[in-house]
Amino acid sequence: MTDQENIKAIQTHIASFGQGDIDAVCLQCTEDVVWTPPISDGRIPYNKPWSGRDGVREYCTLLMGNLEWQSFEVPVIVADQNDHVVILGREVFTIRKTGKTVDNTFLTLFTMRDGLIAGFTLCENTELVAAAFAGS
């Protein structure tokens, strides 16, 4: 796939995620996808390694069940010729359990294979999110 085709695939993925369409999010991944959010030693319930479409489904279900977004913006999307797409974004969300609001920037590296997401690596301020889950 070209870098522009990979960018288009990630834009579609972001739109599906924003609509809460977990089925579409999963189908945009390879069957053996490796999904790697930051590890949080259990303080953030969805931040652990996941694999396969079932793992992505469980991650998205936990994420969407725990957070309520006020905004989600991805102003930067870049791709290289080696099937990588990087997004830089900002999100504002509230932790449902504690009512704490988080204003968070993030960077995500997607590894693509045949137009599908084969790898997901998220970088964010995990301590900020963990503190909000703790009610701090």
pLDDT in tens, 19-68: 999 999 999 999 999 999 997 788 999 999 999 999 999 999 999 999 99
Which of these, 71, 132, 76, lies nearest to 109 by C-alpha position? 76
User: In DSSP terms, which residues pair with 73 in a beta bridge?
Assistant: 90
Supply the DSSP string of 56-99, one letter for each residue: HHHHHHHHHHHEEEEEEEEEEEEE-TTSEEEEEEEEEEEETTT-
Please say if the pLDDT value at position 4 is more than 90.
yes
Mean pLDDT of the chain: 96
What pLDDT sits at residue 55?
98
pLDDT in tens, 76-114: 999 999 999 999 999 999 999 999 999 999 999 999 999
Query: Thinking of the domain 3-134, which architecture would CATH place it in?
Result: Roll (3.10)
pTM of the model: 0.94
What pLDDT sits at residue 41?
86
Cβ 38 vs Cβ 50: under 8 Å: no
